[in-house]
Structure 1
Amino acid sequence: MTTDSTGRVTTPFGAESTAAEVVAGVDLTGRRAVVTGGSSGIGVETARALAGAGAEVTLAVRDIDAGERTARDIGTTTGNPRVRVARLDLADQGSVAEFTAAWDGPLHILINNAGVMYTPELRTPEGWELQFATNHLGHFALAGGLHPALAAADRARIVSLTSVGHLRQAVNFDDIDFHDGPFDTRLAYGQSKTATALFAVEANRRWAKDGITANAVHPGAVLSNLTRHMSQDELSKAIASGYTFKTPQQGAATSVLVAAWPGLEGIGGRYFEDCQEARPHREGDSGGVAAHALDPAAAERLWQVSLDMLASATRA
């Protein structure tokens, strides 16, 4: 790892690097990892790279059958039989609680990979907007429930997947669930991805004393199940505008880098894209990180708001 003149972390890898390339030569034997959404999209390749480096990997998935098929495939391609499957529905707080209660022993790597994007106006039984509930609150509760396991590990890392979509919207603390204003799925998605970035900021501040580092990662655009709510016209416009879509192997690279690369030991509270710490977003750029996604005051406020939301659901 090196830093540039602004203190930004740089690595030898880039936008076209693959997950296998960034983990080459890294030995994760004896390390345990959880990858949410590990049976589809970049989650598969994230899990494959970690397993290929010797880690014991648990695929935390809604569809157990799909998870089992993926686990067999990863085991065959990597020669690592230590690929497990456990049910997890991030939009269901009961499911999250069951997953964390069942976990036994230390956890070295938690990759909050699963997510939904551009869904219609849907709500959980608690009344929470689905994208915020899944992308942020589900992972927030998961990490909190697994905190003892992470603290028990040696130098644990959390990777929180965000998106360039965070540029659209800061967290609207006055109307997180769109109860007062009109629903806009893109703003809702953007807000949820700002929240996943802010989670990493505050988790790192709170838990660094426990030997836990947390970072946010934008994987880049990958054509996967995540884009199923985008129209063909939207996809065509994105391609025509020059937006580059990555392969799943390339899309998984930044997550795997931040989760496993030795050069990032002790680095936390940052936002990475294309295997580098992101530059501040500038008007007209298609990438970079917005100031509102790294704002420590907003991160601290979101943490408390999230705790309050979970507590109110428990009391209901």
Structure 2
Amino acid sequence: MPASTSSAHPTTTDVLSGVDLTGRRALVTGASSGLGEEIARALTAAGAETTLAVRDLARGDAAADRIATSTGRGRPRVMELDLLSPASISRTAAAWTGSLHILVANAGIMVPPESRTAEGWESQFMTNHLGHFALAERLLPALTTARDARVVLASSNAHLLGPVDVDALAGQAEPYEPWSAYAVSKTALILFAVEANRRWSARGITVSAYNPGFIQTGLQKNLPAEMRVSTAGAKTLSEGAATPVFLAASPDAASAGGKYFENVAEAPLAVDEVRDMSRPETFRGVAPFALDEDTAAKLWALSETATEDW
């Protein structure tokens, strides 16, 4: 994807200035390194009781130690979560006790070699969307008990390349094309935010989606070298984490439900008809198809059916 050309980006410190999260409990997926660790660090620094949901417990423990050392706060809890495994998702949700005020669905994979779960789901759709859908649904009682909960979903500007055909699910039923499948999975998360917010807002739950921007993390490991974000064009981790942390914790994000944010602001509708990798401005904003309420409802029904026996 094209690199950001702007260097004027707020940080987690900026968006959490004056915010006290004491007494609030947060769960961040994919928090053993990179952006997820930075999100968890920022929430912990603001006083939240934070849990890292990770595939590799050893790496998660190391991240928890780093967060405790850097913040001087309580050490985050670490839980095992493999979003490619329905059994793991169910175990993680069942192990949660008490209220949950903040759920940040940060974990994700990008353009890996083709693989599918035992249930037949393409790995990006499963990890990025379906696994998080199932986790959030199973944590709904804990989110409801919190009375003022935030669910924050990591999308991408790549969604602009991937409208979701719920009947065909491009990248699922069709021959595998890595970027198409990735884009579809990220559009699915915005549609998830639209429908979940419609369903859950009366429970006091605000659901939103975001684009963190261009950051050098392990997410890029499957990209050829020429496509990886350069240091000159990338945000820092604190800049990339600012938008999800804003949505998760800032009082100013109370009305963010069902919306898509980038650079700590609601994204405008994307109007460029042609996406040009050499022109970053054509990869800004949110595609109208990602906010379509009918598509969101259809995708919800498919996701619910797919995960009901997990």
TM over 0.5: yes
Structure 1: distance between partners of 2:162 and 2:204: 31
Equivalence for 2:240: 251
- The RMSD of aligned alpha carbons is 1.7
CA drift at 1:179: 5.5
Q: Report whether the alignment pairs 1:310 with 2:299.
A: no
* Deviates further, 164-173 or 95-104: 164-173
Equivalence for 1:150: 143
Q: 1:179 to 1:115 in 2, by over 3 A?
A: closer
Task: Report the residue type matching 1:62 in the other structure.
Answer: R
Task: Report the residue type matching 1:260 in the other structure.
Answer: A
Three-state SS of the structure 1 residue aligned to 2:283 is coil
CA drift at 1:239: 5.3
Structure 1: distance between partners of 2:227 and 2:252: 38
| TM-score in terms of structure 1 length | 0.90
| TM-score in terms of structure 2 length | 0.92
Correspondence list, 1:292-307, <5 A: 292-307=289-304
Correspondence list, 1:62-101, <5 A: 62-101=55-94
Equivalence for 2:260: 271
Equivalence for 2:154: 161
Task: Report the residue type matching 2:269 in the other structure.
Answer: P
Equivalence for 1:29: 22
Task: Report the residue type matching 1:250 in the other structure.
Answer: E
The runs of 5 or more residues in structure 1 that have no matched partner are 1-13
Equivalence for 1:50: 43
Task: Report the residue type matching 1:282 in the other structure.
Answer: V
Q: 1:94 to 1:15 in 2, by over 3 A?
A: farther
Instruction: Check whether the contact 1:166–1:190 (CA below 8 A) recurs between aligned residues.
Output: yes
Structure 2: distance between partners of 1:274 and 1:65: 32
Q: Report whether the alignment pairs 1:291 with 2:288.
A: yes
Three-state SS of the structure 1 residue aligned to 2:169 is coil
CA drift at 1:27: 0.2
* Deviates further, 245-254 or 98-107: 245-254
Structure 1: distance between partners of 2:46 and 2:9: 20
Structure 2: distance between partners of 1:175 and 1:225: 30
Q: Percent identity of the aligned residues?
A: 48
CA drift at 1:182: 2.0
Task: Report the residue type matching 2:233 in the other structure.
Answer: T
Instruction: Check whether the contact 1:129–1:177 (CA below 8 A) recurs between aligned residues.
Output: no
Equivalence for 1:10: none
